[in-house]
Amino acid sequence: MAMNEPKQVSVQDLIAQKSNRGLLAFIEKLIPKLLLAIAAVSVLTTIGIVLTLIVETTIFFSRVSVFDFLTGTEWYPFANSTPTYGILPLIVGTLKIAGIATVVAVPIGIATAIFLSEYASDRVRRIVKPVLEVLAGVPTIVYGYFALTFVTPILRSMFPEIAIFNAISPGIVVGIMIIPMIASLSEDAMSSVPNAMRDGAYALGSTKLEVALKIVLPAALSGIVASTVLAISRAIGETMIVALAAGSTPGFNLDVTGSIQTMTAYIVQVTTGDAGYGTTIYYSIYAVGFTLFLFTLFMNMLAQFISKRFREEY
């Protein structure tokens, strides 16, 4: 056969090639629709959750005044005579946990991020950061038992007036739980700061600490604040730690040494079988859940706003 002789193609080969092109064209048209359907699952799930909360919450507010719910300072849904549904004690309890967790997590998380970004070598960073992020994978019920059986006894040995169920112990442990979120996201924000800014500061005689605090930290502030807000949102929605270690006594006060109840802990209490289907108490968990949803939605929107508003472009 000559070198320049064209290759002969049989009729069967032409039919097979045309069939393959048709199949590929069909797949190319199918893939975008399939990906759209998969992406729509999360959107439809979110819509379904919100609609469920709205419908069930509406039923609750047909029985309980919205004004009493939002301004009431007593939460006694299981009272035999006159149940009261004032959400403020649950909100205060939730904010106590989130406040203590923030005090614990923010300094440790940001300090850890500064170390990983500015001081740690690549080898140390590759070891420490994954180990730190393992904390985020620990089941929250394990954290709850850790707070109840380890942290609480230590606190009571130093301060006997602290009750077995209190706000301090679960607040500290929730803070420990959200440290990886703050540290990891803040370290990513600091690492994105161009090295030219560091080199310029070093050339002017700045120390490593001055560069970290006066150059890198302000430049990465939007990412750091956004990570902190997201971590606080995670602390507000925490369930098992507070359900196990915080107690179930809602109170409209600033005391952190006694038993409290958060919004998530109340939902756990009712869903364990303390209320029958269709009762006012049953529908109250949706009202509380909708309130919690609004809290977390606001925190997430605030984090996005801060990230976009104060983002530095390099």
pLDDT band (50, 70, 90) for residue 15: low
Percent of the chain whose pLDDT exceeds 90: 20
Predicted pLDDT at 296: 86
Domain that holds residue 54: 11-62
Predicted pLDDT at 171: 93
Do 225 and 299 touch, CB atoms closer than 8 A?
no
Question: In Å, how far are 226, 282, 287 from 103, measured between CA atoms?
Answer: 16, 34, 29
142 and 32 fall within a common domain: no
More confident of the two residues 79 and 237: 237
State which of 62, 85, 105 marks the end of a domain: 62
152 and 18 fall within a common domain: no
What is the maximal distance between C-alpha atoms in the chain?
104
Predicted pLDDT at 1: 45
Give the DSSP letter string of 57-79: HHHHHTTS-HHHHHH---EETT-
Per-position b or e across 112-140, b if 16+ CB within 10 A of its CB: bbbbbbbebeeeebeeebeebeeeeeeeb
Tell me the β-bridge partners of 76: 84
Catalogue the E-assigned strands of 46-164: 75-76, 84-85
Predicted pLDDT at 98: 92
Amino acid letter at 145? Y
23 and 145 fall within a common domain: no
Which value, in Å, is the radius of gyration of the alpha carbons in the chain? 28
177 and 250 fall within a common domain: yes
Average pLDDT, the chain: 84
Top-ranked range on mean pLDDT: pick from 62-66, 103-107, 124-128, 206-210: 103-107
Q: Give the residue from 193, 198, 184, 199 showing the smallest Cα distance to 219.
A: 193
User: Is there a domain that residue 303 lies in?
Assistant: yes
242 and 272 fall within a common domain: yes
User: Is there a domain that residue 314 lies in?
Assistant: no
79 and 144 fall within a common domain: yes
pLDDT digits (tens, 9 = 90+) for 188-217: 888 888 888 888 888 888 888 888 888 888
16 and 124 fall within a common domain: no
87 and 232 fall within a common domain: yes
User: Is there a domain that residue 70 lies in?
Assistant: no
Retrieve residue 83's tokens. Answer: 């149940």
86 and 132 fall within a common domain: yes
Give the DSSP letter string of 174-198: HHHHHHHHHHHHHHHHHHTS-HHHH
169 and 230 fall within a common domain: yes
The owner of tokens 């056969």 is: 1
111 and 55 fall within a common domain: no
CATH number, domain of 287, equals 1.10.3720.10
Predicted pLDDT at 17: 58
28 and 136 fall within a common domain: no
End-to-end CA distance of the chain: 63
How many domains is the chain partitioned into structurally?
2
pLDDT digits (tens, 9 = 90+) for 252-310: 888 888 889 899 888 888 887 667 777 888 888 899 999 998 888 888 888 778 777 76
Residues 110 and 178: their CA atoms lie apart, in Å, by: 12
Average pLDDT over residues 117-138: 83
pLDDT digits (tens, 9 = 90+) for 33-80: 888 898 899 889 988 888 988 988 999 888 888 888 888 888 888 877
pLDDT band (50, 70, 90) for residue 143: very high
